[in-house]
Structure 1
Amino acid sequence: MTHHHPLLHAGPSAGFDQPFEMLAACHARMERSLDLLERLGRHLHTHGCDAQARSAAADVLRYFDIAAPLHHQDEELHVLPRLREQGQAGMAARLRADHQVMEHDWARLRPDLLAVVEDRLGERALPAAVARWMQFAALYRRHLAAEEALAFPAAISGLTPAQQQAMGEDMAARRGARPPR
């Protein structure tokens, strides 16, 4: 972690007027956050809870505390119902179950990151913490791949521009952002 980690809250490359592109942009930010989490584990082994580690842990906390839950809501309100409508209830159920597991796993590893931010994650606790982080990242990556390869293409299929606009407006409203034109 000797290089600067990416700003996790930069504006998306797509706007609310392109809701599926925005979901994909969120996935890219999730990937960066997962990469940062993995680098953090390696960094802590070598450098301990220095300023870089504390900053990285705070960035990961911010992303998965704020952006990830909103993203999951977007999918559960707009993607999963479309999958069910198209006879793909099994896929929708698997993705929903993944969300539940990821939310549970996040609650289990969040205290690890708070301990890093507060410079109180002990050396003895580090291996178990890093194992939790790696498991979390692996599940998230499998989930993201399934959404991008299967769920998003199926969900967008047949959506009218008006339906996509309504989806974007809902996504913007839940974030307190300006709706698409």
Structure 2
Amino acid sequence: MELRKQPRQDRSRAKVDGILAAAADLCSGPGLDALTTNAVAARAGVSIGSLYQYFPGKAALLAALIRAERANLLEAVERIVCSDAAQSLTKLVDELIEASVAHYLARPALTRTLTLAQSQLPPDPAADEFSARITVLIAARLEELAIPGPETTARDVLGILRGMIDAAGAAPEPDRGALTDRTRRAVLGYLQPAA
């Protein structure tokens, strides 16, 4: 679901960013039930008419938040696979785990809410494209490292990361270092036959 109107000026972009930040705050607190266009407009300090200029409703707000979260993770993965750290499998895994833990646990309630929202929204090709791009980037690096079945392996590694980190976020995880260590062991254990 696209924005109703694209912000072209800095002031308009700032307004849209403020609206999305307000929506993220509401999703991080009370969750989906608290996310209404009126509540978002009030939290963002804009009129409901201003909100509707850009977002036709709650579903559009959620879709934009999901796309923004995936774009942030994609940016982190792009940096990792293009860095010197990605020259060995162990370093690649360590960097991916660090980025994933930092991303998903920065705001675990937001992550859980957006995961739930995604299951209730119509498919969003733009958001799906981010996920596909992350898999392609990791698979390309795995192929360069001579890992068999790089695309399947990339999907599996992402699944392990997401599953373990989501579970830790729901717990909630008191020790990020311990989570990083457990996740590292799981991913490297999975990759062991390929390494």
**With structure 1 as the length reference, what TM-score do the two structures score?**
0.30
* Higher Cα radius of gyration: 2
TM-score, length of structure 2 as denominator length: 0.29
Tell me: higher relative CO, structure 1 or 2? Use CA pairs within 8 A at least 6 residues apart: 1
